[in-house]
Amino acid sequence: MKDVIELNEDERDCLQELMNIAYGAATAAISEIIGKFATLSIPSIKSISTVNLIEHLNQKLLDKNQYFVVNQLINGHLAGENIFIIDEESSLNLAREFDLEEEECTENEIKDIILEITNILSSVTSGKLAALIDTNISFSAPNITKINSVGEFDKRFTGEYSHVIIISTELNFEEQNIKGDLMILTKKESSVFLKQALNIALENL
Amino acid sequence: MTINSNLIFNTVNNGIIILDENLNVLAWNKWLEISTKVKEKEIIGKNLCEYFSYINEKKLKRKAKTVLVTNNPSFLSLSTNNFLLDIPVSNVTNKVFESMQQDITILPYDLEKNHICIYIYDNTQMCEVNKKLEKLNDELIDMSHRDPLTQIFNRRYFAEQSEKIKSYSQRNNNIPFSLITLDIDKFKNINDTYGHMVGDDVIIKVAHIIEEEVRNSDVVARFGGEEFVMLLQDCNLENAYKVAEKARLSIQESCVITHKNKEVKFTVSLGVAQFDESDNNNIENTLSRADAALYKAKDGGRNQTVVSN
């Protein structure tokens, strides 16, 4: 088995289409829950080893001081981890969009809102993707940490995931000045499953 | 095989609540009856957040809506919420938490009727173990940062903190910070005359005196033997010199008493340097300049402070 599971152009296009559908479901869910319109950018899909993952994350954490990072484990054929990264200012704006009053905006309540939005984005996008390729997944409870730099990322990354496919998108509530990054990291064996599932989907077109 | 869901509902070792979208209780399992001492017949049809007024209704309603819209589970994390229902822990010994620490999963139960289901998992034991491990870990970190003889910080901690203070200074328009190196004068003579036990007492005494002369935000470290370093945050050369002189005079006035009730006096020499551009962004260079000043103080007759120029 190769160390890096590469997707060819057709597979990548197919995954991008499936993710667009999944993101549509996620933004519709957010709109129904909080009555605000969010956008998720066109997914960027990369196959990389975890050695390069830190570098990839570094690009996400350039100019702000503090970030909240939420990770949620996905179990099943698409096993891996979804990561949502949001800076402090966006977090506060997000809390306001969830109707938190100023006096309610404590760090724990803000964390709770970030966990909630991650859970919505993560479960709806991964759930929809799983449904589109005819498999089932389950989710573990998300965890949140506050970090100052990419160096504080859990070192288990490199041990746990020797190779990942990253499906990355930006969440934007433009009027509310909220920006976050969602990354879906699939483990090596899940990447093999995903590649096979994409080929079945392509055959059925 | 027919599954007896009622049996599972009432024997599972977790709490299970079924609620409508307005958070009125539709079902309440046996585990909850035992843990909360509230009978199912007492709470059925009542609003959960009115019955337990400490529950954050706004938050729970938001979670219920998320679950019903996404048809996926939502969670109440222990990192932000210790519990949903306040259930006192039953430990007789070794109690860490007053209330049961709960992980909460909220699931869609009947989407057509907008019913949700809440699972309550007791995670108190795991949290207790984590709490104890965190405490032990903190103790280990503290031990790795301290000099065993004097209990002041060691060189490793100094290295970590000096980089932080340097970064803080650079982020804040180069707020000045300074270093003082300190060495006990003729320490070998003290050891040779009175023995190592008295020598150790002198080192401990000096450590305690200089620790009292600095602010909480400063760092005092023993670099080894009879050598100490003070790292003074937000402090220019002039003020650092004043701190050094105050420490020198306090030490000159102090003494240790031997087991034969003899008073042993001692003095120190000090070198002072402020971190500046000549150090090429390397605190080791500031330290070298302070050390050079310290040697000048020794050469100049000891028991004095010299400033690096």
On whether both B303 and B193 belong to a single domain, the answer is yes
- Mean pLDDT in chain B? 94
On whether both B125 and B155 belong to a single domain, the answer is no
User: Which residue would you say has higher pLDDT here, B230 or B277?
Assistant: B230
Q: What is the pLDDT of residues B102-140, one digit of tens each?
A: 999 999 999 999 999 999 999 999 999 999 999 999 999
Q: How far apart are CA B271 and CA B307, in angstroms?
A: 6
Contacts of residue B238, defined as CB under 8 A and 6 or more positions apart, other chains included, come to none
Q: Is the pLDDT of residue A157 over 80?
A: no
On whether both B86 and B164 belong to a single domain, the answer is no
Domain CATH code at residue B167? 3.30.70.270
On whether both B61 and B191 belong to a single domain, the answer is no
Stretch B7-33: mean pLDDT: 96
Given this model, what pLDDT does residue B93 score?
A: 77
Given this model, what pLDDT does residue A1 score?
A: 43
- Please provide the DSSP assignment of chain B as one string: ----HHHHHHHSSSEEEEE-TT-BEEEE-HHHHHHH---HHHHTTSBHHHHSTTS-HHHHHHHHHHHHHHSS-EEE-TTT-S-SS--B---SSS---SB--EEEEEEEEETTTTEEEEEEEE-HHHHHHHHHHHHHHHHHHHHHTB-TTT-SB-HHHHHHHHHHHHHHHHHTTT---EEEEEEETTHHHHHHHH-HHHHHHHHHHHHHHHHHHS-TTSEEEEEETTEEEEEETT--HHHHHHHHHHHHHHHHH--EE-TT--EE---EEEEEEE--GGGTT-HHHHHHHHHHHHHHHHHTTSS-EEE--
ipTM of the complex: 0.83
Q: What is the pLDDT of residues B31-87, one digit of tens each?
A: 999 999 999 999 999 999 999 999 999 999 999 999 999 999 999 887 788 899 999
The last residue of a domain, from among B95, B129, B163: B129
Residue bearing tokens 């031997």: B258
Residue B92 CA, chain-centre distance (Å), reads: 29
Q: How far apart are CA B81 and CA B76, in angstroms?
A: 7
- Is B135 inside any structural domain? no
Number of domains in chain B: 2
Supply the range of the domain harboring residue A23: 9-203
- Is B36 inside any structural domain? yes
Using DSSP, state whether A34 is helix, strand or coil: helix
Whether the CA torsion A148, A104, A93, B76 is positive or negative: it is positive
Domain CATH code at residue A13? 3.40.1550.10
When pLDDT is cut at 50, 70 and 90, the band that residue A164 belongs to is confident
- Is B237 inside any structural domain? yes
On whether both B26 and B160 belong to a single domain, the answer is no
Residues of chain B with pLDDT > 90, as a percent, come to 87
- Is B140 inside any structural domain? no
Q: What is the pLDDT of residues A38-97, one digit of tens each?
A: 888 888 888 877 777 777 777 766 655 688 999 999 999 999 889 898 988 889 999 988
The last residue of a domain, from among B129, B163, B187: B129
Residues of chain A with pLDDT > 70, as a percent, come to 86
- Which residues partner with B271 through β-bridges? B181, B306
Given this model, what pLDDT does residue B84 score?
A: 94
The last residue of a domain, from among B68, B99, B129: B129
Number of domains in chain A: 1
Q: Does A76 touch chain B (CB under 8 A)?
A: no
On whether both B295 and B213 belong to a single domain, the answer is yes
Given this model, what pLDDT does residue A148 score?
A: 76
Supply the range of the domain harboring residue B109: 5-129
On whether both B53 and B78 belong to a single domain, the answer is yes
For testing the chain B interface, which of A116, A129, A146 should be mutated: the one with the most B CBs within 10 Å?
A: A116
User: Which residue would you say has higher pLDDT here, A180 or B47?
Assistant: B47
Stretch B157-185: mean pLDDT: 93
Of B58, B72, B77, nearest to A124 by CB-CB distance is: B72
B62: chain A residues, CB-CB within 8 Å: 33, 98, 116
Q: Is the pLDDT of residue B301 over 90?
A: yes
- Mean pLDDT in chain A? 84
A119: chain B residues, CB-CB within 8 Å: 66, 72-75
Q: Is the pLDDT of residue B282 over 50?
A: yes
B79: chain A residues, CB-CB within 8 Å: 111, 143-144
Residue B32 contacts residue B120 (beta carbons within 8 Å): yes
Determine which helix (DSSP H) or strand (DSSP E) holds A180, and give its type and residue range. Answer: strand A178-186
On whether both B199 and B254 belong to a single domain, the answer is yes
User: Which residue would you say has higher pLDDT here, B192 or A46?
Assistant: B192
Q: Is the pLDDT of residue B28 over 60?
A: yes
With CA atoms as reference, the chain B residue closest to A99 would be: B58
Given this model, what pLDDT does residue A173 score?
A: 83
On whether both B184 and B301 belong to a single domain, the answer is yes
When pLDDT is cut at 50, 70 and 90, the band that residue A183 belongs to is confident
Q: How many CB pairs under 8 A join A and B?
A: 54
Lowest mean pLDDT among A113-122, A144-153, B2-11, B281-290: A144-153
- Is A3 inside any structural domain? no
On whether both B301 and B175 belong to a single domain, the answer is yes
Q: Does A204 touch chain B (CB under 8 A)?
A: no
On whether both B165 and B286 belong to a single domain, the answer is yes
Q: Is the pLDDT of residue A31 over 60?
A: yes
- Is A79 inside any structural domain? yes
**pTM greater than the 0.90 cutoff:** no
On whether both B124 and B229 belong to a single domain, the answer is no
State the Cα torsion B230-B235-B238-B241 to the nearest 10°.
-10
